[in-house]
């Protein structure tokens, strides 16, 4: 079931009423009343991670936190997307800020969104980009996003029969971990 409680590109098996009950419960245990915000307590980057536009939160990843300019631009885009319902402003943000700590998370979410919409080529491009950006990095959110991208990219390549791309990818990433036959 698709619904728009706070999210734009979300899918859930829970109905809106059940989601509302769960959200109210979560806010109550956090000491927040429905409709109340704690904006004074949160940085803009923290507020961005609570805006549910995709199935999961947009998170920054990397060694350094996003700068205020990038967070302000992304916040503006989040508000715009709520009206336009188009993922294109996120694409523009990524093109204008390719090294942003927000970019990998946005690409991962956009890839899933495009895949669900049947736009497989766009999804493959984003998964490949996230993997290439993260594969040599240290453990952390960026590495986790890269691992997620690798799995979804590989699964999609396999389902499309693109063995010429999949085989070298698997050999590069899993060759050292394969056990010898007994």
Distance set, CA 29 to CA 25, 32, 150 (Å): 6, 8, 36
Question: Model's pTM, two decimal places?
Answer: 0.72
Query: Is the per-residue pLDDT at 18 higher than 60?
Result: no
- What would the two tokens of residue 20 be? 């509302």
Per-residue pLDDT of 89-137, as tens digits, reads 999 999 999 999 999 999 999 999 999 999 999 999 999 999 999 988 7
Cα separation, 12 vs 94, whole angstroms: 27
Instruction: Decide if 131 contacts 150 (C-beta within 8 A).
Output: yes
- What would the two tokens of residue 151 be? 């799995």
């Amino acid at each position: 079931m698709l619904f728009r409680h706070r999210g734009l590109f979300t899918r859930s098996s829970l109905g809106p009423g059940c989601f509302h009950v769960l959200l109210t419960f979560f806010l109550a245990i956090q000491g927040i009343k429905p409709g109340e915000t704690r904006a004074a307590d949160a940085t803009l980057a923290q507020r961005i991670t609570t805006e549910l536009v995709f199935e999961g939160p947009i998170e920054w990843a990397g060694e350094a936190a996003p700068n205020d300019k990038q967070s302000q631009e992304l916040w503006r885009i989040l508000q715009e997307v709520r009206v336009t319902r188009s993922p294109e402003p996120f694409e523009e943000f990524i093109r204008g800020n390719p090294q942003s700590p927000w970019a990998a998370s946005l690409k991962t979410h956009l890839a899933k969104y495009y895949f669900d919409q049947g736009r497989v080529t766009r999804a493959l491009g984003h998964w490949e980009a996230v993997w290439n950006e993260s594969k040599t990095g240290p453990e952390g959110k960026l590495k986790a996003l890269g691992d997620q991208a690798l799995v979804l990219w590989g699964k999609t390549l396999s389902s499309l029969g693109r063995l010429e791309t999949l085989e070298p990818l698997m050999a590069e990433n899993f060759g050292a971990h394969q056990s010898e036959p007994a």
